[in-house]
Structure 1
Amino acid sequence: MKMTLIAGSNDAGSVSTRLLRYLESQLAGSGITVSFVDMRELQLPLYSPEAGQNPEAVRLQNEIIHADALILATPEYHGSISGALKNALDYLTPGHVEGKPVLSVSSAGGPLGISSLTHLQTIVRNLHGVNCPEWISVGYGSNEFGPDGAPLDAGVRERVSTVIEQFIKMTRLLSAETAVVTG
């Protein structure tokens, strides 16, 4: 099983990226193959339908096409997702995401990033992805990480563990269903 993780922040010390890196370590520890796409490193021009193919956009599209599932992480800015992540998602079509399970992750300056999570799920739905019924959000007071990259808050670590377990199960179920339909 392969999962593509997309970190949607331009900030080097981003909490959402650090949280996604922690999820990456948990998935790798479960034997999942992980591809990590960081918006700080992927230089995408502002999306325009007339712009034609961009090599970085093609790289992003290929990462998603070859994944069994996606995890999208974003900081919450003004009640929504980051511009960097939105721009990247604009390069996708339903053909890239259709039928893939997607987990949404956010970080916020307040208690939780609920608005960004609901916006992500709306975008995923419009790309014909399958939203995980669970999500992960950290906010002020639960957004510190230890030197090993693990969240210091025990509740966050427990939440990640529970959600990752459910997301892996969901991905396996959808992959089995897809295999039956296409087989």
Structure 2
Amino acid sequence: MATVLSVSGSPSATSRTARLLRHLDGRLAAQGHEVIPLDVRTLPPEPLLHADVAHPAIARATALFERADGVVIGTPVYKAAYSGLLKSLLDLLPQHALAGKTVLPLATGGTTAHVLAIDYALRPVLNSMGPAHITPGWFTLDKDITVGDDGSLTLAPGPAAALARVTDSFSGALGGRTASLAATA
């Protein structure tokens, strides 16, 4: 199947966003995709903030985008927009780093007042990077994500079903993309 890069733009080591992505990674892997997680917070801050694309860690992250057939972008919403950490990474990637790729945008936040952050803040930036397709994204309220003492994740039933649908739609779009790539090879 496809190679999926799963990017968490959360600066927090105990991030609900990152845990939600890792949960969805499992669903995508079970559907046959190779999933590569990338937590932007693990990149070295100085090369990231100085856009040092020659730094080995930044070059490796860029290569992961090049290798991927699809990209899941997850971010917490701060001040009605995606995280500054994610913005730092997106800014240093080549202009068309998403060219030909299928993209799934996801966001988490504390209030429904931020539900439009995907469509009005994140989607335009992703679109400017030339993806073949941006699938419908999903916003999940923090209160609907519970993390157990053992690190396990539980989602409220409604959001769990919605996330399963958008993830399956993304997976289906990847299947079509990889099939069309194979036909042209």
- Name the SS for the 1:157 alignment partner: helix
1:89: Cα distance to partner?
A: 0.6
CA distance in 1, matches of 2:10, 2:55: 20
8 Å Cα contact 2:147/2:153 also seen in 1: yes
Q: TM-score with structure 1 length normalisation?
A: 0.88
2-structure distance, mates of 1:58, 1:137? 30
Structure 2: which amino acid aligns with 1:25?
G
Contact 1:2 1:33 in 2 (8 A): yes
Unaligned runs of 5+ in 2: none
Gap change, CA 1:162 and 1:2, over 3 Å in 2: same
Cα deviation for residue 111 of structure 1 reads 2.5
Distance 1:62 1:28, change over 3 A: same
Tell me the equivalent position of 1:20: 21
CA distance in 1, matches of 2:144, 2:95: 35
Partner of 2:117: 116
Q: Which residue does 2:141 correspond to in 1? A: 139
- Give 2:34's aligned residue: 33
Residue of structure 2 equivalent to 1:61? 62
State how 1:63-82 maps to structure 2 within 5 Å.
63-82=64-83
SS in 1 for 2:153: coil
Q: How far 1:52 moved relative to its partner?
A: 5.3
Instruction: Tell which deviates more after alignment, 168-177 or 99-108.
Output: 168-177
2:167 is the alignment partner of 1:160:
no
CA distance in 1, matches of 2:38, 2:25: 11
- Does residue 177 of structure 2 align to residue 170 of structure 1? no
Task: Give the equivalent residue in structure 1 for 2:127.
Answer: 125
The answer on whether the counterparts of 2:103 and 2:135 sit within 8 Å (CA) in structure 1 is: no
User: Identity across aligned pairs (percent)?
Assistant: 24
Partner of 1:97: helix, strand, or coil?
coil
Instruction: Say yes or no: does 1:151 pair with 2:154.
Output: yes
Name the one with the larger strand percent.
2
- Taking structure 2 as the reference length, the TM-score comes to 0.87
Q: Report how far residue 180 of structure 1 moved.
A: 4.0
Q: Is the contact made by 1:69 and 1:102 (CA closer than 8 Å) also made in structure 2? A: yes
Change (3 A) 1:133 1:111: same
Contact 2:8–2:39, Cα closer than 8 Å, also in 1: yes
Q: 1:113 to 1:131 in 2, by over 3 A?
A: farther
Tell me if 1:92 matches 2:93.
yes
| Residue 151 of structure 1, CA deviation | 2.7
Structure 1, unaligned stretches of length 5 or more?
none
| In structure 1, C-alpha distance between the alignment counterparts of 2:161 and 2:123, rounded to whole Å | 23
Corresponding letter in the other structure for 2:7 = I
Q: Work out whether residues 75 and 82 of structure 1, in 8 Å CA contact, stay in contact via their aligned partners in 2.
A: yes
CA RMSD of superposed structures (Å): 2.1
Q: Distance in 2 between matches of 1:148 and 1:31?
A: 24
